[in-house]
A = this chain, B = another copy of it.
Amino acid sequence: MNATLQKMKDYLMAEETWLDLGIVLVKILVILLLTTIVVRVGKSIIKKLFLVRQKSPLGYSERRQNTLEKLLQNILANVVYFTAIIAILSTFGINVVGLLAGAGIVGLAVGFGAQSLVKDIITGFFIIFEDQFAVGDQVQIGTANGIVQEIGLRTTKVKSYTGELHIIPNGTITVVINYSIYNSLALIDVSVSPETNIPALEKNIQEFLKELPSKYEDLVKPPSFLGVQSFDATEIVVRITAETIPTKQAGVARKVRRDLKEFLEQKGFQIS
């Protein structure tokens, strides 16, 4: 017992102990410094490379180039930080690679625990390969709905309309809804009183709809009058659909709704 304590005391009192500790600390500081420099310089080089993209012989669309720029920055940062961690652990004498290669219980646990990491990276590659979505697209992934900010090796970042940033591990992305590929369709339901003359209403609304595309450029073609959606003793509901350029359906619906209200009141139809 006393021997052990004595040895411990000797160890703590020896000059080399503190010298070693100092060297380790300096090494760590140098590693951190290098890491920071490399990441910053690397990111700005990548940014500049993509500034000349119009002349790029590869002819990738601008949409994909945005994605690649962010991805390359993300890969760079991951590789550098990961290398730094291994280097720091090495200064403490921990041989990470040897640890991982040794098959044993630790290895088993790591193998199972790292599953979702591997799944994140595989899924991430496929999202970019298959061009499921690109930086700047409006998407819905699970409950997150917004504009894609970055597609990284392990996570995708989506900024919602109200400003929250959703950080989503790629491996948890299954069904993706992309609003930016095809034209959108606005649904506009109008309730009129049950005494309304439906054919007259239909004729009036159709004339009104014809003039809309000249007014709103987000409209791809004149909205169409679908017909009576439902009717009961208190109201008749008619439905209009309007094709707009991608993701503009809410704004168009808001404007059409306002104009239509005014128009129907002018024509003497009673809104219920």
**Chain A residues engaging chain B, CB cutoff 8 angstroms:** 1, 5, 23, 26-27, 29-30, 32-33, 36, 57-60, 77-78, 81-82, 85, 100-101, 103-119, 121-123, 125-126, 129-130, 132-133, 140, 142-144, 152, 154-155, 159, 161-169, 171-172, 174-179, 181-185, 187, 191, 198, 226-233, 243, 246, 249, 251, 254-255, 257-258, 261-262, 271-272
- Asked whether B230 lies within 8 Å of A257 as measured between CB atoms, the reply is yes
Pairwise interchain contact A60-B36, C-beta atoms closer than 8 A: yes
Contact check, A122 vs B129: say whether CB atoms are below 8 A apart.
no
In the assembled complex, which residues on chain B have CB atoms less than 8 Å from the CB atom of A175?
Answer: 142-144, 166-169, 172
- Residues of B within 8 Å of A154, CB to CB, are 126, 130
Q: Tell whether, in the assembled complex, residue B227 and residue A255 are in contact, meaning their CB atoms are under 8 Å apart.
A: yes
Instruction: Indicate how many identical chains form the complex.
Output: 7
Instruction: Indicate if the CB atoms of A109 and B104 lie closer than 8 Å.
Output: no
Expressed in whole angstroms, the Cα–Cα distance for A253 and B51 within the complex equals 40
- A222–B59 CA distance with the chains assembled, in angstroms: 41
B176 & A166 in contact (Cβ 8 Å cutoff): yes
User: A117-B126, A126-B155, A165-B177 given. 6 additional CB < 8 A pairs?
Assistant: A77-B129, A108-B112, A110-B118, A163-B179, A226-B251, A231-B271
For A228, give its contact among B108, B232, B258 (CB under 8 Å). B258
The answer to whether B78 and A58 have CB atoms under 8 Å apart is no
Tell me the nearest residue of chain B to A271, going by C-beta: B233
Q: List 23 A-B contacts (CB under 8 A).
A: A1-B23, A5-B30, A81-B129, A108-B111, A109-B111, A109-B115, A113-B114, A113-B116, A113-B171, A132-B155, A132-B167, A133-B167, A144-B175, A162-B184, A163-B184, A163-B243, A164-B182, A166-B175, A166-B176, A226-B251, A227-B251, A231-B271, A232-B271
Do the beta carbons of A1 and B29 come within 8 Å of each other? Answer: no
Q: Is A177 in contact with B184, judged by CB distance below 8 angstroms?
A: no
